[in-house]
Structure 1
């Protein structure tokens, strides 16, 4: 009994330490967002000196030569919505109906998406630019959202296919007996019961879209079309940088993802608890 309590105590201490270690970078960014350049260098840990809440106002309207956070949020939101529509619509459907294939065909089908996971990202930058330039859709956040949706498809398909493999077939058979076709059963039975897994995968895609900058730098050349991550790069000057507003912009940019996670947390937890997301 004593050994069990000691083990639980040690485990809790390790979890608390890990949580603090994870939160530390966010706390440092939040403190740094209230500093000017002199304060950041004189008080690297944020203790002492003066604080400047005006950094947030500067970050919100954007330094000279930028369009401000309102435009960045609008563009990022558009790209994220399009990306989620693409990856969840096509990825969920492909993942489910792949379970209906023979074992050999299913393995070959999933191998295509697995290959998409291991291709170095830098190799697709030039082809993406050439395609977007040829179609005259550079500096288009919605078009970038389609690209993001395609890039997140492998993760969506691979994770959800694992979930749908264990989906109770009795429910689908009962729906078929009641007169539903295969696709109708998928829409009316499978999808409503898979909200946890789909939400978890959607959060993974959203975090990727919200934080991706490399492709955005290449495809979003107009300042009015830039997303949050690309726009924040403009906070750095060629020779000098005002780091306080930059950290303030990073703090502002993290708020929507945190809020969305808090709203959908119960669906994500349920999906993981059912054993259908990561196993």
Structure 2
């Protein structure tokens, strides 16, 4: 009896330590967001003269109004939304096509094609800027959002395919065989059977692609020059002048750019966990 109570006490102590560690990690993760929010409510003088987590006596909510009305952040925000959405949809759909063809269909050179896509994982992004700029310039696609979308899709495809591979390999073949017996074509089987079965892992790839596309800076800064097509990450530079920088406006812009990511992650978090769990137990 005493031994059992000792085991229970030890187990409870272990859980308590685990919860304390997890709470500490969560607080550490949230602190930068709290600091950025407080930072966005300060002016330049308060940024340099006050403690990092000190709340100003009169918060400058006008920073948010200023960046939205005078900083053209509204246009940048819309550009970020639609460019991210289009790139995400194309990447996930094309990656699903490729993964389905490689893992569920028998054809020559499928391993070679898969290997060519995986080679993309080893290509550094920075090494492609000059060749891509030269190619887009010849095609008259510089200062055009099409160049950004094509770049996002090309560089995100290998990672997305790699994530989908394990899940597709674990799908039961009996479901496809039953669909073929019932007269399903390949297209019908993919869109009505296979694609819904992979919805959980697609949510995982979607959030990964969204974070990359939303936060990407190099391609937009290199290929886009007009304000009409700039995204939020590049639009922050509008508040950096030659002689002065509006730090409060920069903080407000960064806070606005973070909110959609947090919102989407909170909405899709259960689907992401389902995708990870399903990928680990199938097979």
Using structure 1 for the length normalisation, give the TM-score.
Answer: 0.91
Task: Give how far 1:105 is off.
Answer: 5.3
Between 1:44-53 and 1:202-211, the stretch displaced more is 44-53
For structure 1, the 5+ residue unaligned runs are none
1:200 aligned onto 2:196: no
- The 3 A distance-change label for structure 1 pair 48 and 197 is closer
**Superposition pairs for residues 1-279 of structure 1, below 5 Å?**
1-50=8-57, 51-63=59-71, 68-100=72-104, 107-275=111-279
CA contact (8 A) 2:35 2:53 kept: yes
- The 3 A distance-change label for structure 1 pair 12 and 97 is same
Task: Give how far 1:259 is off.
Answer: 1.8
What is the distance in 2 between the residues matched to 1:180 and 1:95? 19
What is the distance in 2 between the residues matched to 1:243 and 1:252? 14
| Partner SS for 2:60 | coil
Task: Give how far 1:104 is off.
Answer: 10
CA contact (8 A) 1:72 1:228 kept: yes
| Partner SS for 2:279 | coil
Task: Give how far 1:102 is off.
Answer: 7.0
- The 3 A distance-change label for structure 1 pair 192 and 101 is closer
Paired residue for 2:3? none
What is the distance in 1 between the residues matched to 2:56 and 2:206? 42
| Partner SS for 2:198 | helix
What is the distance in 1 between the residues matched to 2:135 and 2:89? 21
What is the distance in 2 between the residues matched to 1:253 and 1:44? 24
Between 1:4-13 and 1:23-32, the stretch displaced more is 4-13
Using structure 2 for the length normalisation, give the TM-score.
Answer: 0.90
What is the distance in 2 between the residues matched to 1:140 and 1:82? 14
Task: Give how far 1:144 is off.
Answer: 1.2
CA RMSD of aligned residues (A): 2.1
What is the distance in 2 between the residues matched to 1:98 and 1:31? 50
Work out the number of aligned pairs and report it.
274
